[in-house]
Every structure is written in C-alpha cells, then in structure tokens.
Chains A and B, each alone.
Chain A
Amino acid sequence: MAADIVLRVENVSKRFVRGERYDSLRDLIPSTLAKLTGRTRSTPTAAKEFWALREVNFELNRGEAFGIIGANGAGKSTILKLITNIMKPTSGWINVRGKLSALIEVGAGFHPDLTGRENIYLNGTILGMRRAEIDRKFPAIVEFSGLADFIDTPVKRYSTGMYARLGFSVAAHVDPDILIVDEVLSVGDVVFQNRCIEKMNSIIRGGATVIFVSHNLRAIAELCPRSILLEHGKVRTTGPSQEVLREYLESCGQEGRQAKSKELAITAVRVRGSHSEGVAFNSGEKVSVDVEVECTGEGEPFSVVLFVNDDRQYEAFHTSTEYLGYPAISLKSGERFTCTFEMDLILAGGTFYFGVLLYRFNIEKIVDRVFPAATIFVNTLSEVRGIINPRPRISAFGPVAEIEPAKEAIKQ
C-alpha cells in the first residue's frame, strides 16, 4: 500500500442467500434424509442467492472524509460490515491500516439494564478504549451527550433520541484512525444533529479518516469532499461529492418517473435567460422556464410545480401554477400543454437544479416528476454567500458619533 492509503477495498463481492435457510436440526435432518434416500423435494437454498456487493473498489487516504450513498439495499451497510470485519467478503480483499471505530447502529453495544454511566464504559471498551482513557474523557462524553441528569438511569428507560446521543458521544470520543458512521444523524433533534456534524468536522480536521453513510445528502455534501454511489451492489460512480450526488438524484428521478403513469409526461423543460437559452446566468437576471406536457391517454387534472434546489440538495424555493392562481389543467389524449414561469433569479452564486412536478394538489399525488430537469450555474458575485441574493447594501458605516440619542430611543 502507498504510504497514506489507510483503507483499500479491492474487488470485493459479497453473496447472500435469499430467503430462509435451515436454521434448526428439526428442518435439516428430514431434508438430509430425503436427499439421501433420493427423494429430493424443492431445495430451498440453491439458486436463491444474490450478490449484495459486486466487485467494489475504492481507496481512502489518510485524513479523508468519504461518503457512501445509495438507495436502500444498495449495499451500504454491507460494505461497512465487511470493512469492520463483522462479515467476511465472499471474494476480494480489504486492507485496513490503523485503529478503526465503527458506529454501525446507534447504541448497538449498550446493555439495556446498565446505566448510562456503565454503558459509557462498556461501549467505550468495546470500541477500543482503555479504562483510564474513558475516565479521562468521561466528563466530555457526558457533556456532549447532554444527558448529565440521566447518566445514572438504566438505558432501557431512555428514549431513542437519548440512546442515539449517548451512542454518538461515546463513538466520537474514541479518537480512532478511521471512524465509520452509519446513518446516526437521523434520530437526534436538529440541535444535536448540528452538534454531530460539527464534531465530525473537528474529527476530520484532527486528521482522522471518516467514512460516512447517510441519506442526509446535505450532511454528505458538507462533510465529504469525495463520495461513492452504490447501486444494487455495484459502484455507479466515485468522485467529487457534488457530481456523485447529482448522479444519485438523477437516478432517483428516473426511477421515480418510471413508476408513474405514462399518460401524462413532462416532455421538455427549458430555462431561458433574457438573452438566450443556456446554463450560466447572472444573479438577479430575469429567467423564464418553459414546461411542456403531453397527454397520451386518460389524463387527470394536474398543476405544474417548479422547484429549485441548491448544490447540497436543499430546496431554495418552489412554486406552482396553483400558488400563482391558475386552475388545474385537464388534457385529453393527444393534447399538449405548455406554460412558462418567469422570475427574477435572485440566487447567490453556485449550482442550482430545477425540478418539475405534475401534481394533483387535491389528492396530493405526484403524476410525473423530472429532476434535475435543468442545471444552471449562477455567476458568483462576492456580495453574498448562501442560497439567495437579496441584494444587501450598507447604508451606514463608521464610528457612532452620538450615544445619548440612542439611549433615549431605548427608553421610549
């Protein structure tokens, strides 16, 4: 291995058996006897295998934060279990360098009858800390979890959120060389989630390698410069998180689209600037978005929804024909429909994605969905950072000349 590669996953595949296999002698012995006597009934295990992972390759450098994304069942948790040595790959090699700490599931190592305090010691030991080390970090762990009042309560009386807080707090204080975090941010409240992200940022800054699995795409985009996208056990893309996230959302959009009725379909979405059609716009420019819909069968009444997400897939805004005072549209077979949204593009600099929905507001049904329908780049102006550009200006700037009038203003 090269000097700064701490994890190398090479051609890793993992095969599972689908369905129930013999897990008791009661089932095994009769079927073995049946086989021996030649009377083979259906063999439940054969031909029911599937590959959870197929020839997955990636490498991680020291101090890198790496995201793993993919739909449910894409193999994210499986790859983590292989890395942590909980399972062995069917074929391929995994090389790990250094101390590895994994948080596959929050509070996995907790014993329900023990108190929070005892579980910190138990979990810390399981994650590879010495007793003296835990003694030293104990106040910090409790402080971070915010559970000081409940630390002597058995964890079976904890809520799910408290469990998560304690679990993350312990794992985050282990100081591992490689930290693996699997979807733990989804349980805590917003304050705690932000605290977790901050903590992970500081762990990354501290030089640890972090593997982060989450459906929270914003967190992935914020924490991880590089990501991998798994799809049905195969690597679809590896690369900068922005690109991988975009690909992931595109694939989601396609899947979502296939599932919907084909009778009504969005056939075109065009973003035009005041000058021409394109992808690069200036902040504040007037833009028009044309949406074309075609009806090929029994059409249902719908409204057109337009939404814009930023590069971390946070929605900047959404609007619709319904909000703008237009009635639902009904089309007959073979008819086409078009509408144009006009707006001032008061977005800050960056990449934005347009998405379009055909939506029935009365029954909350998505008829068709295209995302990203268009990608635009808003030219960066240094006046703002963030999502929107409300054109901030400064109307006063300088030392405060008189203090007395201000005080009187407060009294009034």
Chain B
Amino acid sequence: MWAIFLPAVIVAAGVIVRYGMSAISGKAISTQEIAGITVKGLVWAFFAGAMRFSSTSLTGNPNLVTKIYMPREIFPLAAILSQLLDFAVASVLVVVVFFLTRLGASLQLLWVPILLVITVALATGWALLISAACLFFRDVKYLVEVIITFAIFITPVFYDVEMFKKWSTLLLLNPLAPLIEGLEKCIVYGTAPDLPWVTYSGAIALLSLVAGFYFFKRWEPAFAENI
C-alpha cells in the first residue's frame, strides 16, 4: 500500500510540474511524457528511499550492533533490499500507466535489467558509506535528508536532460541521471540508452561499490565503540 502511495505522489507531483511547464511553453503534454515521468519517479523513489533508510540502518539498531556479532553490512543491504521490494510492488504502477497510455514494448526493454543492476549497485555503494558515516557523525543524517530534497532538482526526474541543451552534459555528470534517462528511453520511447554515459554511470557505480565495501569493512571494527 505505502509502497505504491509514495512513488505515486512523486509521479503525481512530476505530472503537475510537467503540466505547468507545458502551460508556460505552450506545448501540449504527451502521454509518453506522463509514462516517462512514472518510470523516472519510481526509480527516484527507490534511490531516495534507499539513501534515507540506509542512513538510519546502523544507528537504528544499536542493540544488534553492540550485543551480537554479525556481518554489519547486512543493515544497509537490508535497507536496499526493502526499498527494492517496494520498488517491485510500485512497478505495478508502470504497468497500469502503460496499459492506460497503450504504449508498446520493444526489444530495447532488454536494457532494463542492466540499467537497474547499475542503479542498485550505485545505491548499495553509497548506502554502505552513508550508513557508516551516520554512525560516526550523527548529523550526517540531516545532511542526507537535505541532499535528497535538493537532488531531485539536479536529477532529471521532472524534466528531461535534453531540455537544457548545452548544459545537459553537466546534468549527466550526476551518475544517476544517465540511468534514469536510459530507463525512460528504453521503456517509453523504445530507443537505446546513451551508451557512453551509461558506461560512465556503471564505472561510478562499480567504484562506489568497491569503495563502499572497502571502507565499510575497514571501519566496521570501530562500530560497536562509536555507536
């Protein structure tokens, strides 16, 4: 229920923003654009949720961290997994929207798992770092909140990168941007994602994952004393 509600609100907000934009620019909004916002909103909801939940994953379970030994990466990974589950449930929304807008499928859908894996890897790497940082510094949690709130403006959720013409490169530097754009392209428009930029995101994701595990494991012995 909540798994659908929250992404639905984000998608609704996106649609309203789009309507506003189209009213100003005088261009009518297409069904494809609405479908695109649905896809992007869902991915964004997953990513933001993953960051938010991982930030409290360690500090929210002091009993388990200080009283029982287990591999501590379970906590941020569980946060990712629970968000992934929500995401899977919310994907029903995409199916509904597609049914309503009568958009077809294409072979480009094969890109979807690849892009999703990169997204999850990126989220996991950052989640590991954030959860550990929040343990050592209690106010990182608020910082994460603020960044999530602002990040929706620098991530192409409510708009498309192409709208910004020559500035689009700058927006694509956000490793999440090519993934979100790519998912929209292959699901809604049936075109291939921008391969160089997806590779860039993939590289960042891999780097985040390696760095995440490396630092998490390095800091782990100090968790119980600092929590």
Contact = CB atoms under 8 A, between A and B. Distances in A.
Interface of A: 16, 21-26, 28, 81, 84-88, 102, 104-105, 108-109, 126-127
A109 B68 contact: yes
A23 B68 contact: no
A48 to B, nearest CB: 14
Contact of B226 (A23, A84, A104, A127): A23
On chain B, which size bracket covers the interface?
Answer: 10 to 19
Given A86-B66, A105-B67, A23 B137 contact: yes
B70 interface: yes
B138 A24 contact: yes
Contacts of A16: 225
A86 B69 contact: yes
Interface string B214-227: 00000001101110
B100 to A, nearest CB: 38
Interface string B192-224: 000000000000000000000000000001101
A104 B68 contact: yes
15 contacts: A24-B137, A24-B139, A25-B139, A84-B68, A86-B224, A88-B221, A88-B222, A102-B69, A105-B63, A105-B67, A108-B67, A109-B63, A109-B67, A126-B68, A126-B70
B63 A28 contact: no
Nearest to B74: A126
B64 to A, nearest CB: 6
Top 7 A-B residue pairs of the complex, sorted by shortest distance between their CB atoms: A108-B67, A88-B221, A24-B139, A85-B69, A104-B67, A84-B69, A87-B224
Contacts of B67: 86, 104-105, 108-109
Nearest to A112: B63
A88 B221 CA distance: 6
Given A81-B224, A87-B224, A88-B221, A108 B139 contact: no
Contacts of B64: 108-109, 126
Contact of B221 (A25, A26, A87): A87
A26 B140 CA distance: 9
A126 B72 CA distance: 12
Contacts of A22: 137
Contacts of A105: 63, 67
B143 interface: yes
A45 B139 CA distance: 19
Interface centre among B140, B143, B224, B226 (most CB of A within 10 A): B224
A36 B54 CA distance: 33
Interface in B60-118: 63-70
A26 B142 CA distance: 11
Contacts of A127: 68
Nearest to A14: B225
A102 B222 CA distance: 20
B136 interface: yes
Contacts of A25: 137, 139-140, 143
Given A81-B224, A87-B225, A88-B221, A102 B68 contact: yes
A296 B137 CA distance: 57
Contacts of B226: 21, 23
